[in-house]
Each structure stands twice: as structure tokens, then as C-alpha cells.
Chains A and B, each alone.
Chain A
Amino acid sequence: MIKFFSLKKKKLSFERKNTINTYLFLAPTIIGMFLFLYLPFITSLIISFTDWVLLRSPKFIGFENYINIFTKDPHVLNSFKVTIIFTIVTVVLKMSLSLLLALLLNVDVKGNSVYRFIYYLPSMVIGVPMAVLWIWMYGREGLVNSVLVLFGIEGPVWLYDKSWALVAVIIIDLWSMGNLVIIYLAGLKNIPSVYYESAAIDGAKKLTSFFKITLPLLSPIVLFNFFLASISSLQSFDNIFVLTRGGPDRATHLWSIMLYETAFQSREMGYASALGWLQFIVIFLFTIAIFRNSKRFVFYMAGD
């Protein structure tokens, strides 16, 4: 009897000690994430229902901000269009071109790693230095126009031309697709060559084996890349802000830039929070849609 009781005591003590330890290790994370992420997250929802402008006292106005966004604000539709176009074009192009490049690099040629390094290099030079480099290159006598002159084309002053600014910005985004190429490459190398060999023996052509072997086996990676690229494009800010400040004449006025201007230049915290929440809802619904449908598009290798 006594033995039974002491055994039980020991078991509880270990579990309890373990739980205490777990939460000791997790304490900074739990406290920090609550204070700096979850609390602001909830607060911003509340703020979005007020008309708060910094340095004045806020007043609760319910859904008025949201209604104004959809009816009164002339810039909202433009920013929405710009953001959607930017996102769709960059994601589609980035995903397909980087896959093609990965296929190209998957060939066993001498000096292959040099090319791999070259394609990846731009994605290491990210941020403001890169944006500034391209501001220079897109200038009236910049490198881009100098190259076009060789082909007899007179280039526009890209970042100041309403019709070309968005194109210029998209090209820069594509320039740093190197990291996607590397991810695809890792995935391609993971496909056992046995599959291709037995397909070839069965008489399959290269194109067939691409669609029936490569693509299905790459689908987890494709989904991963697609998801990441979309989320990041939808929230893109840094590069374009430095490149054009959202201009010229709002031609590249992404939603995130509009948000920044509303919150930190006009100081309209309430309205800006509403803009932010609309962006979040779009991203959230998109995420759910992706995960719901992932089973349909993704094929996992047996045994993984």
C-alpha cells in the first residue's frame, strides 16, 4: 500500500515539474508575444472603430471608417487595383520563371554552381541599397535606357512615367527571385532519378515526365512558394516606397503605402487601422482558401 502511494506521488511530481519547466522556458515568448503582438492586434481592431487622430481624443464611431473606405475615399480603389495587379503579375511570373530557371540549373554541367551563385546573388542584396541601385539604373541616362538604345529603343524615364512605373517595379521584384530558384532546385534534386529512368524505359517523352512526375512531386514546394510569394507581395512596402514613394501620381500606390501615409503622415490612426484590418481579412481569407484546397493540388511522396 505504502509503495503504491509513494509511486503515485513521484509520477505527479515529475509531470508537474516538467510543466513548470516548460512554462519557464516559454515565459519570455508567451509574455512577449502577448504584449507586442496579440495585444496590439486586438487594440488595432478597437482603434479601427474610432476616429482617432493622434494628439486628439478618440471617439467611437462604429463602422463609419469601413463605410468611408468603400464609399468616400477615391484612393482606395486605385490602391486596391495596384496591389492586386502587382501581386498577381509578380507571383505568376516569379513562380513560373523561377521553376524554369531551376530546371535549367538542374543540368549537370561544369561550372553549374557558379551560375547558381549568380542567380541567387540579387536576393542577398535586398532592401534599400538595392532599391537605390535601381533608381539609378532606371534614370533617364541610366543603364536600362543605355541598353535599350543599343536596340534602337528610346526608353521612358521609368520611375517617373505613369504607364511604366509599375512595370519597372515588377521587374525589380522579379530580379530577386533567386531564393525561389534555390528552393525549387532543392526540391528537384529530391526526386529520385529512378522515376525518370523507368518512365523513359516505358517510352515517356521529356515533356510528359515533366507533367506527370516533376510537377506532382514538386507540388508541396510549389504550394509553399506560392503562399509565401503571395503573402509577401500583398504586403510589399520597403522596395516600392523607396523606389517611387507610391507615385508617380499614385501609379504604384500599394495598399501598404496608403496605410503608411494615412497612419504616419496624416496621423489618422483610426482610419488607418481600418485599412489595415481590411488588408488582414483579405490575407486571412486567402490563407484559408489555400489550406482548404491544398489537398487537391498537392501530392505527397509516399512514405514522407
Chain B
Amino acid sequence: MIKINNKKNKNRIYTIIWYMIASVIGIFFIFPIYSMLIGAFSTLEQVYMPQINLWPHPIKLNFSEINQYMKDPDFLIAYKNSFLIALSIIPRVTVSMLAGFALARLRGKGSMIVFYFILATVMLPFSIIIIPQYIMFNQFGWIDTYLPFWLPAFMGDAFFIFIIRQFIMGIPKELDEAAYIDGCSTWRLFFQIIVPLCKPVISVCLIFSFVSYWNSFLGPLIFLSRSSHKSLPLAINALVYQLYQVTPWNTVMLICLLAAIPLFLIFFLLQKYIISGFVMSGVKQ
């Protein structure tokens, strides 16, 4: 009897220690975000006080201040601009599906070479490519439009093509054969059978590309210099570097919070796909 008790107590102590360590670390991770939440609803004085605020006193809804500080473009327009850029993920993922299917199933002559060239693009750093891209887009008059984001979207994404190919290779070939026997054309096979089966990998691609393009900064920084087309990250950056006597951190935090909401939404709604996405992305050999 005593032996069992000792084991239980030992476990209890270890568990308590675990909670203590995990919580201290957890505070490091979550307190900044919590502060952002609090700061977004504080008054200007509160946000400058050298103390740790656990709750805003008084609670101030700074929504009206947003348009006072964000002038050109104003907040809603910047939000819309970010969406316009982020929507380019649709052609991106679609074309990646087409390519992934071709490389997984069709495999015509020379398609393996094409596959290696597609993979190799991962190694091409953006810093080398933006300069000629900028020069090229400048010649065509595409600077300050959304074309620099939408047109390259039609080439797909090497990483997505890779994981889509892996995924489709996991779909039994018997399915294809049954469809062909029934007189199905390749296109029908693709659209009506393969695509619906690829919902998990398509979700993962959509999630990751949305997060990436919603937050994208360098691209818009270079290609969208005119104020009215600025995306949200650009507008926030400009806001913070404007020479105010006193930077309105409470309003800025509210803007950041609102800017981060689509990301939180995506995370909440599609949590299980994200976790499975890590396992799927070829980590396990």
C-alpha cells in the first residue's frame, strides 16, 4: 500500500513541476499577444505607462481613431488590397494541382526532367529575382498594379506541386483504371475524381499560401509604391515610421489585431489540416 502511494505522490510532484515549467514558458509565448489585445482597447496614456497592464482601465474602443491616423490608403482600402493580393492563391493552388497531377499520374516523356527543374526553383532566392522582375514589370508598366502578384501566380508553387504529387501518388491507380475503362477522359478523371479526393492537400496549400500572401511584405514593398494600392502590412509599416510626436500605440495595436484576425480564423477553423499538413509535407521519409 505504501509503495503505491509513493508512486502516486511522485507522479503528482512531477506533474506539478511540469505545469510550472510549461506555464512559465507559455507566458513568454502568449503574453505579447495578450498585451496586443489589451493595448488595442486602451487609452493613449495607458499604453505609455511603464507598468504591466493586465486589463485596460478604462476600456476604449479605438475604432474611430483608426481612420484618423491611417489616411492614405485608409484602413478598409488597405484591407481590401491585402485581400486582392491574397486571392491570387486560387490560381496558384489550381495550377499546382494541374502540375502535380501530371507529374504523379500522366508522366509523359521528359516529365521527370521538368519535375527536377520545378523543384530547383525552391533554391532561387527572391533577392536575385526581384531585381530583373522589377525591371521587367517596370517596362510593362505593371508597377503599382496587382499584376506582379497575379501573373506569376499562374505558375503554381514548387513546394505545393511537390506535396500534391506525393499525395496523388498515394491514390490507388485502380481508381484511374476503373475510370478509364468506363470511358472517362483524362480531364474528367482529374476534375471529377482526383480533385475531390485531394481536399486535404488542397486545404493545406490554401492555408499556407493565404498566410504567406496576406502577410507578404517585400513584394508589395517593391511593386506597390503608390499609396492607394498599399496592402495592409505596407500601410502599417508606413504608419509606424511616420514622425508622430507620440506614436498612437493603442490604435496601432488595434489595427494589428484586426490585421491578424483572418490568420486566427484560418487557424481555428482548419486546425486539424494544419497538423496533418506537417506530417504530410514529406518530413517522414
- Rounded to whole Å, the gap between the CB of B212 and the closest CB of chain A is 9
- Rounded to whole Å, the gap between the CB of B230 and the closest CB of chain A is 11
CA A259 – CA B222 in complex, angstroms?
A: 12
Given contact pairs A220-B284, A220-B285, A25 touches B155 in the complex (Cβ within 8 A):
no
Contacts of A136 in B (CB 8 A): 39, 47, 249, 252-253
Given contact pairs A40-B129, A235-B127, A129 touches B259 in the complex (Cβ within 8 A):
yes
Given contact pairs A124-B267, A220-B284, A183 touches B108 in the complex (Cβ within 8 A):
no
Of residues 107 to 148 in B, which have CB atoms within 8 Å of A's CB atoms? 107-111, 114, 117-118, 121, 123-136
Of residues 170 to 225 in A, which have CB atoms within 8 Å of B's CB atoms? 175, 178-179, 182-183, 186-187, 190, 220-221, 224
Indicate if the CB atoms of B256 and A28 lie closer than 8 Å: no
Given contact pairs A29-B118, A104-B21, A126-B215, A256 touches B26 in the complex (Cβ within 8 A):
no
Given contact pairs A22-B102, A36-B155, A235-B126, A118 touches B29 in the complex (Cβ within 8 A):
yes
Indicate if the CB atoms of B218 and A304 lie closer than 8 Å: no
- Rounded to whole Å, the gap between the CB of A237 and the closest CB of chain B is 6
How many residues on A have C-beta within 8 angstroms of the other chain's C-beta atoms? 90
A96 contacts the other chain (Cβ, under 8 Å)?
no
Partner-contacting stretch, out of B58-66, B68-76, B198-206, B275-283: B275-283
Indicate if the CB atoms of B283 and A221 lie closer than 8 Å: yes
Contacts of B99 in A (CB 8 A): 25-26, 28-29
Given contact pairs A32-B154, A220-B283, A284 touches B123 in the complex (Cβ within 8 A):
yes
B67 contacts the other chain (Cβ, under 8 Å)?
no
Indicate if the CB atoms of A128 and B217 lie closer than 8 Å: yes
Specify which of A26, A35, A101 lies most central, judged by the most chain B CB atoms within 10 Å of its CB: A26
A19 contacts the other chain (Cβ, under 8 Å)?
yes
- Rounded to whole Å, the gap between the CB of B171 and the closest CB of chain A is 16
CA A133 – CA B125 in complex, angstroms?
A: 28
Indicate if the CB atoms of B263 and A137 lie closer than 8 Å: no
B161 contacts the other chain (Cβ, under 8 Å)?
yes
Indicate if the CB atoms of B278 and A39 lie closer than 8 Å: no
Q: What mask results when residues 12 to 37 of chain A are scored 1 for a CB within 8 Å of chain B, else 0?
A: 00010011111101101111110111
Partner-contacting stretch, out of A3-11, A66-74, A87-95, A270-278: A270-278
Residue of B nearest to A41 (CB): B124
Indicate if the CB atoms of B128 and A280 lie closer than 8 Å: yes
Residue of B nearest to A145 (CB): B50
Of residues 171 to 211 in B, which have CB atoms within 8 Å of A's CB atoms? 186, 190, 211
A151 contacts the other chain (Cβ, under 8 Å)?
no
Indicate if the CB atoms of B108 and A21 lie closer than 8 Å: yes
Contacts of A245 in B (CB 8 A): 241
Indicate if the CB atoms of A276 and B128 lie closer than 8 Å: yes
CA A300 – CA B121 in complex, angstroms?
A: 27
Residue of B nearest to A19 (CB): B108
Given contact pairs A22-B111, A28-B95, A32-B154, A182 touches B118 in the complex (Cβ within 8 A):
no
Interface class of chain A by DSSP: helix
Indicate if the CB atoms of A40 and B136 lie closer than 8 Å: yes
Contacts of B134 in A (CB 8 A): 263-264
Of residues 17 to 41 in B, which have CB atoms within 8 Å of A's CB atoms? 18-19, 21-22, 25-26, 28-33, 35-36, 39
Which of A115, A187, A276 touches B26 (beta carbons < 8 Å)? A115
CA A102 – CA B232 in complex, angstroms?
A: 34
Contacts of B128 in A (CB 8 A): 40-41, 44, 273, 276-277, 279-280
Indicate if the CB atoms of A283 and B283 lie closer than 8 Å: no
Indicate if the CB atoms of A272 and B131 lie closer than 8 Å: yes
Indicate if the CB atoms of B25 and A101 lie closer than 8 Å: yes
Indicate if the CB atoms of B285 and A304 lie closer than 8 Å: yes
A266 contacts the other chain (Cβ, under 8 Å)?
no
B264 contacts the other chain (Cβ, under 8 Å)?
yes
Residue of B nearest to A237 (CB): B218
Contacts of A76 in B (CB 8 A): none
A127 contacts the other chain (Cβ, under 8 Å)?
yes
Given contact pairs A276-B131, A284-B123, A175 touches B95 in the complex (Cβ within 8 A):
no
A125 contacts the other chain (Cβ, under 8 Å)?
yes
A156 contacts the other chain (Cβ, under 8 Å)?
no
Contacts of B264 in A (CB 8 A): 124
- Which 9 pairs from chain A and chain B are nearest by CB? A32-B155, A22-B108, A127-B215, A19-B108, A25-B102, A129-B256, A128-B233, A40-B132, A141-B50
Question: Can you report 7 residue pairs joining A to B where beta carbons are below 8 Å apart?
Answer: A22-B108, A104-B25, A119-B26, A121-B33, A186-B279, A242-B240, A260-B127
* 18 additional A-B residue pairs with CB within 8 Å, beyond A129-B256, A241-B217: A40-B129, A41-B128, A41-B129, A41-B132, A44-B129, A104-B18, A118-B29, A126-B211, A127-B217, A175-B28, A186-B275, A186-B283, A187-B284, A235-B127, A272-B131, A273-B128, A279-B128, A280-B127
